[in-house]
């Protein structure tokens, strides 16, 4: 009788499913945020790289006789 109650009350599988759903929701949200802000971040890095490239080019031009 106790074994039957233990089998009926075993909810470890339900916990695993709940954790899986939470993980899937977090992964989905992460993908959405990356796609939403990806262009903005790329623009920031492109602007920074252009400024660095310009500074390096100017410094090289000034050092060359």
| Reported pTM | 0.49
Whole domain around residue 33: which residue ranges? 2-63
> How many Å apart are CA 62 and CA 13, to the nearest integer?
69
What number is the average pLDDT over the span 11-32?
A: 88
- Tallying the residues shown for the chain, one arrives at 65
Per-residue pLDDT tens digits for 25-48: 999 999 999 888 888 888 878 878
Please report the pLDDT score of residue 29 as a whole number: 96
Domain count of the chain?
1
């Amino acid at each position: 009788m106790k074994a039957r109650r233990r089998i009926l009350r075993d909810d470890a599988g339900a916990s695993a499913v709940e954790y899986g759903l939470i993980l899937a929701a977090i992964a989905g949200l992460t993908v959405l945020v990356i796609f939403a802000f990806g262009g903005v971040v790329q623009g920031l890095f492109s602007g920074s790289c252009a400024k660095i490239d310009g500074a390096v080019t100017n410094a090289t031009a000034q050092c060359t006789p």
